[in-house]
Amino acid sequence: MSTEIDCRGLACPAPVLKTKELIEQEKPEKLIVIVDNEAARQNVTRFMEYQGFDVSASEEGTDFHVTGHAGEGSESAAAPVKTVESEEVKQKIMVMVGTDRMGHGDDELGLKLMVSFLKTLKEMGGELWRLVFVNNGVKMTISDSEVLPVLEELEKSGVYILVCGTCLTHFNLLEKKMVGETTNMLDIVTAMQLADKVVNI
Amino acid sequence: MIVGLDRADDAGVYRVNDDLALIQTVDFFTPIVDDPYWFGQIAAANALSDVYAMGGVPKTAMNLVGFPLEQMDMSILREILQGGIDKMKEAGVVLVGGHSVEDPELKYGLSVTGFIHPKRILTQKNLKGGDRLILTKPLGTGIVNTAVKGGIASPEVVESVTHLMARLNQKPAEIMSRYEVHACTDITGFGLLGHLAEMVLDSGCGIRLQSDRIPIIPEAREYAQMGFIPAGAYRNREFRSGMMEFLPSVDRFLQDLLFDPQTSGGLLISVSEKDSADLLRALKTGGVHEAVIIGGVISTSEERIFVE
C-alpha cells in the first residue's frame, strides 16, 4: 500500500505531525511526503528513519519528495512483535535495574552477578516487557558495558529498554549510551502502572 | 559611543563619564509557552539577558506590547505584564513605562537600560588563547519547544523547560564579575555554535569543544531524532558550517542540538585558565548548578571550531 501526503506550505513541526498521524493510522508500506522547504525535508526524513523506514528524498522543482519504505524495525513491521504479548504471554513484567551491582557486600562479585542476571533475563521469555535502567544501572547500557550485546539482543526481540535521561546526564554518559531509549520519570511511572509485576534489582 | 552598530554585539553602550556607561538593549517575541504569566517572565528574562551578558546591571525597563484586542481577553495581557513585572522585581529593575499597539499577533518584550563601568565592558570579541569556556544553562529549548508545539512533550518536560527559560542570567553575571573574564555572550537565536562562531571571527583564535560535556535537556535528543527541529537550527548550520569541524563521534542529532536556537539561553563565558576552576566552583555554590566547562580557546591562525 502506498500513500502520499502533501505538506507544502506547512511550517515545522506540522509536516512531521501529519506524517506521524498517517503512519499511526494507516501503517503504510510505502509513504511519500511532499514538502517545500529544507527544514521540513530533513525533519520528515528524521521522523521516518526514527520509525524504522528506509528513506530517500528527491527534488521536484522547488519541492522535495520524501519517500519511505517500511523497513524491519518500522511501526508496521514491528506490529507482530508487539502482538507477542497477546499470544502465550500471561503477564507483563517490568524489571527496574537501579544499580550496576547485584546485592551488597563484594563489588566485584556484585558486578559478575549483575552481568549474569542480565544474560539470564531472556529466560523470562515474552513476559519480560520492559527493562528500565536508573541511577548506577545506566552504566550497563554504555559503550564499554560487558552486557551490551545481550541488551541489544533483548531489544531486538521486542523488549523495551528504557534508560533514565537524568541519570545519564548526571554521570555525563548521555553520548555513551548504546542501547535502549532515553526516558524520563513520567514514562517510568506510567510503565509501572501498566505492568502486572515490577521487579526491583 | 563605545559599542555600536558596527559590532554585532548584545547591546549598545554609551559612555556618560569615566566611571559610568549606559547599556541599552531591546528584545521582544511571540508566545513560546501557552501560559501568559510564564510567557511574560520568559520574555522579560530574555530581554534582560543582553545586559547581563555584557557584565552590566539592568536598572530600568519599558514594556513593548503588541496585542490582538479583538480576539483576546484583556486578562491575558494583564497576566503577561504581571509575569514581566515579577521578573523585573527579581532583577531589581524598575518599570518606567511602555508602549502598546494593536497587533493581530501577540508580542511582548522589554527595552532595558543598565549601568556598567566603561572599563569593565564584556563583549563577544575578546577571546584569549588558553581561556576556558563555561556554559551556564543546558541546550535544547528550541527543539523541546518544537516538540511541545507538536503536542508530544509530557507536562513534566513543558514545566521544566519553562522554568529554565524564565531563569535570569543575573547570578552568573554577578559571580563572573569577580574573576578574570575576557569575553561573554548569551546563547539565543544562533545556537551555541552560531554564537561561538561570532566570537571566533577576527579573534585570531580557534575553539575546541568537548561535546560530551555540553549540558543538554535530557529529552531534547530524542525529539531531535524524531525530527522536531526548528527551521532556525538548519539555517544556523547552513550559515556557519564552513567554520566547523566535527569528529565522527559527534552525530548529527548532537550537531542539531549545538545549532539549536535558544530562547533565554545561558551565558557563555570565556575565562582565563587560571580562574576557570574557581569561577566554576563559585557558580555551582552560588546556585548555578548546571554550569560546565565545555571547552577552551586555542591560539591558532585558523579561526575554526573543532567539536570533539
Residue to test with chain B: of A166, A175, A188, most B Cβ within 10 A: A175
Average pLDDT of span B220-240: 95
What is the rounded distance in angstroms from the CA atom of residue B148 to the CA atom of residue A168? 23
Q: Which chain A residue is nearest to residue B152, measuring alpha carbons?
A: A17
Q: Which chain A residue is nearest to residue B214, measuring alpha carbons?
A: A172
> According to the model, what pLDDT value does residue A80 have?
35
H/E element, B292: strand B292-299
What is the rounded distance in angstroms from the CA atom of residue B173 to the CA atom of residue B55? 6
Distance from CA of A36 to the nearest CA of B (A): 12
Q: What is the mean pLDDT of chain B?
A: 93
Average pLDDT of span B273-290: 94
Residue to test with chain B: of A7, A10, A16, most B Cβ within 10 A: A16
Of residues A102, A96, A154, A145, the one with CA closest to residue A125:
A154
pLDDT at B114 over 80: yes
Q: Give contacts of B229 with chain A, Cβ < 8 Å.
A: 12, 39, 42-43, 46
Per-residue pLDDT tens over the stretch B231-255: 999 999 999 999 999 998 899 999 9
Question: What secondary structure does DSSP assign to A153-196, as a single string?
Answer: HHHHTT-EEEEEHHHHHHTT-TTTB-SSEEE-HHHHHHHHHH-S
pLDDT at B31 over 50: yes
pLDDT at B145 over 80: yes
> According to the model, what pLDDT value does residue A155 have?
83
Parallel/antiparallel/unpaired status of strands A93-97 and A197-200: parallel
Check residue B169 and report its DSSP letter.
S
- Check B216 against A168: CB less than 8 A apart: no
The answer for residues whose C-beta is within 8 angstroms of residue A146's C-beta and 6 or more apart is A115
What is the rounded distance in angstroms from the CA atom of residue B261 to the CA atom of residue B44? 18
What is the rounded distance in angstroms from the CA atom of residue B228 to the CA atom of residue A50? 11
**Are B185 and B10 within 8 A, CB to CB?**
yes
What is the rounded distance in angstroms from the CA atom of residue B235 to the CA atom of residue B222? 21
Q: Which chain A residue is nearest to residue B215, measuring alpha carbons?
A: A169
> According to the model, what pLDDT value does residue A185 have?
84
- Check B226 against A46: CB less than 8 A apart: yes
- Check B230 against A39: CB less than 8 A apart: yes
Q: Give mean pLDDT in consecutive 10-residue pieces for chain A, a chain of 201 residues.
A: 86 91 89 93 93 91 92 49 43 92 90 91 88 94 89 84 91 87 82 88 88
H/E element, B240: helix B231-240
Q: Give contacts of B216 with chain A, Cβ < 8 Å.
A: 169, 174
Residue to test with chain A: of B143, B148, B225, most A Cβ within 10 A: B225
Average pLDDT of span B18-42: 95
Distance from CA of B193 to the nearest CA of A (A): 18
Q: How far is CA B59 from CA A40, A164, B25, B187, in A?
A: 42, 42, 12, 22
> According to the model, what pLDDT value does residue B112 have?
97
- Check B212 against A46: CB less than 8 A apart: no
Residue showing cell 529498554: A161
> According to the model, what pLDDT value does residue B194 have?
96
- Check B216 against A169: CB less than 8 A apart: yes
Residue to test with chain A: of B160, B234, B237, B250, most A Cβ within 10 A: B234
Per-residue confidence at B42, pLDDT binned at 50, 70, 90?
Answer: very high
Average pLDDT of span B7-28: 86
> According to the model, what pLDDT value does residue A176 have?
86
Average pLDDT of span B150-170: 94
**CA-derived radius of gyration, chain A:** 20
What phi, psi does A138 have (nearest 5°)? -60, -20
Provide the percentage of residues in chain B whose pLDDT is more than 70.
97
H/E element, A35: strand A30-35
Q: Which chain B residue is nearest to residue A163, measuring alpha carbons?
A: B218
CB pairs under 8 A between A and B: 78
Q: How far is CA B233 from CA A39, B49, B220, B263, in A?
A: 9, 21, 13, 12
Of residues B73, B297, B79, B289, the one with CA closest to residue B204:
B297
User: Which among B221, B222, B227 is the nearest to A16, CB-wise?
Assistant: B227
Q: Give contacts of A39 with chain B, Cβ < 8 Å.
A: 229-231, 233-235
- Check A172 against B213: CB less than 8 A apart: yes
- Check A175 against B254: CB less than 8 A apart: yes
Per-residue confidence at B10, pLDDT binned at 50, 70, 90?
Answer: low
Give the lowest-confidence range in A173-182, B155-164, B225-234, B292-301.
A173-182
Per-residue confidence at B279, pLDDT binned at 50, 70, 90?
Answer: very high
Q: Give contacts of B233 with chain A, Cβ < 8 Å.
A: 39
- Check B229 against A12: CB less than 8 A apart: yes
